Structure 1
Amino acid sequence: MDTVTYSNFRRNLKAYMQKVNDDSDSLIVTTKEPDNSVVVMNKDDYDAMQETMYILSNHKLMDRIREGDKQFANDKGKPHQLLDDEQ
């Protein structure tokens, strides 16, 4: 993860936004006050992180995932045909 000062980020905003989107790597924007620093990230990465946090915080869903992992590890998994969005 790269770091850039606020003033440099502001001067080169378009280039930094393009770099974050192209590289899919977050960028730390620092200020004179460390508590005011921010992280700039690609929206797709942000959405994926939000989804992951939602799944991890959903205890019922995590229990189902763990149960499926356990079944798969014990060779009790069953292959099936995937459904498409319209089914």
Structure 2
Amino acid sequence: MLAVNYTNLRDNMKTYMDKVTDDYETMIITRKNNRNVVMLSEESYNNLMENIHVMDNKTNYDWLMESKAQLEKGKFSAHELIEEDIDE
């Protein structure tokens, strides 16, 4: 996680925005009176919101944890995908 003060951010906005989006960095913009702001890419934000949505539903969460436990115990199988001709 990066931290930069507001003045430095304003003077170098493109550089910092590129760093956030290209390197998946989260940046804290420090301001007076500890009124800080967090900057993250839209992709990171969308991922965070999706995770919150999935984890907020107990049924989804339980299903994911059970699946994770099965995977860790080696209880899974791999299958080859079958391609279908779309013209059919």
Distance 1:16 1:79, change over 3 A: same
**Match of residue 5 from structure 2:** 5
Unaligned ranges ≥5, structure 1: none
Aligned residues: 82
> Which runs of structure 1 show a deviation greater than 2 angstroms over 4 or more consecutive aligned residues?
66-83
Q: Does 1:32 align with 2:13?
A: no
State the 1:81 CA deviation: 5.7
Q: What are the Cα deviations for residues 20-57 of structure 1, in whole angstroms up to 9, with x where unaligned?
A: 111111111001111x1011111111111111111111
CA distance in 2, matches of 1:19, 1:66: 33
- Whole-Å Cα distance in 2 between the matches of residues 13 and 39 of structure 1? 14
Say if 1:15 and 1:75 are closer, same or farther in 2 by CA, change over 3 A.
closer
After TM superposition, the score normalised by the length of structure 2 is 0.75
SS at structure 1 position matched to 2:32: coil
- Alpha-carbon RMSD: 2.1
CA distance in 2, matches of 1:25, 1:75: 34
Unaligned runs of 5+ in 2: 83-88
**In 2: Cα distance, 1:66 partner to 1:82 partner:** 25
